[in-house]
Amino acid sequence: MFRDALEMNVEAFRVLARERDSPTLYPVRHPRPSPREGLIGLSSLLTVLSKNFDSFRDGVSPVSTLVHGFRGTGKTSLVLEAWKQTNQKHASRGIPRCRLIQVDRDGIPHLLPLIDTLSDCKEFFLLFFDDLYFPAEDPNFHQFRAFLDGGIAMLPGNTGLVVTSNHRHLVSESFSRREDALNPGETRDDSLALWDRFGLSLTVTEPSLETFLDIVIAKCIDRKLLPAGTLRPEIQVDESPGMPLPSSSPRSLEGIVERARRFSLLRASRSGRTAQWFVDLLERDILESQDRADT
């Protein structure tokens, strides 16, 4: 059911399973880029993940990987960059490319026929579950658990698997801590049932204030709001409670630093996604309008 799609000359696909009996591989002709600034503070994790993907060249599948942590911190960008680096290495060594296949929860029932098809291919594949999370009593939970480690099928040597999630255990509290369970130990086992089936688990934490400001400045340089080579100033950044109105010009380096700190406090987040929203608003002069409204 997937073979015809794999004949297309594209590097990424997404499993679409609107109808349970007729899933398809939809070609993604323009995969999302992984901007350089989105990887600030993630270099050590990127090295580990890229080394894992290098297993392809040795003829074995990479260790199944879970990338979990704070929302908006670049987990997806981390995976996409490691995949991109893998293909760059493969191209330089004459190794077949690695194609990315994104699978959602609804695609889990179709994993076995999918990997059966992939096992016959000469290329490499990376199954990517982005922002995976199982609500209470999701029927796909047990299928995915068995697929990871416990069923009779295994990933072929040309196929790897990586999952990103905001939740370490991938399951909801009501699912992992059912009060009506006959055996409390069983609920604990459910809570750990997925996490401990990944050979590699990478934790992405919320950036420090300094790293957050580095991300903001890098994004401002990319948007030409600051000149190339601009570095975060070694100035005293007030981390005390409260959100005083910025005193410097909105487009000056000091003004951007002041406003970025204030914005992160308002959002209660220092993630890369928060930095992205800040720069989007700064570029459109909306932050400056907010400053005037607050005075």
- Alpha-helical runs (H) found in 11-123: 43-53, 75-93, 111-118
Q: What is the pLDDT of residues 1-59, one digit of tens each?
A: 688 899 999 999 999 986 666 788 999 998 888 888 889 999 999 999 999 999 998 87
Q: What is the pTM of this model?
A: 0.86
The pLDDT-based confidence of 288 (bands split at 50, 70, 90) is confident
Residue after which a domain boundary falls, among 148, 176, 204: 204
Per the structure, how many domains does the chain have?
A: 2
Is there a single domain that holds both residue 151 and residue 14?
Answer: yes
Query: Angle CA(176)–CA(180)–CA(185) in degrees, nearest 5?
Result: 55
Is there a single domain that holds both residue 47 and residue 60?
Answer: yes
Is there a single domain that holds both residue 81 and residue 114?
Answer: yes
Residue after which a domain boundary falls, among 173, 204, 235: 204
CATH of the domain at 143: 3.40.50.300
Is there a single domain that holds both residue 245 and residue 179?
Answer: no
Alpha-carbon separation of residue 117 from 22, 25, 120, 158, 260 (angstroms) = 15, 12, 6, 11, 48
Check pLDDT > 80 for residue 236: no
Residue 158 to residue 160: CA distance in whole angstroms = 7
Residue after which a domain boundary falls, among 151, 186, 204: 204
Is there a single domain that holds both residue 55 and residue 165?
Answer: yes
Is there a single domain that holds both residue 219 and residue 189?
Answer: no
Ranked by mean pLDDT, the top range of 91-100, 191-200, 234-243 is 91-100
Is there a single domain that holds both residue 194 and residue 218?
Answer: no
Is there a single domain that holds both residue 264 and residue 121?
Answer: no
Is there a single domain that holds both residue 118 and residue 263?
Answer: no
Residue-number span of the structural domain to which 35 is assigned: 3-204
The encoded tokens of residue 151 equal 């069923």
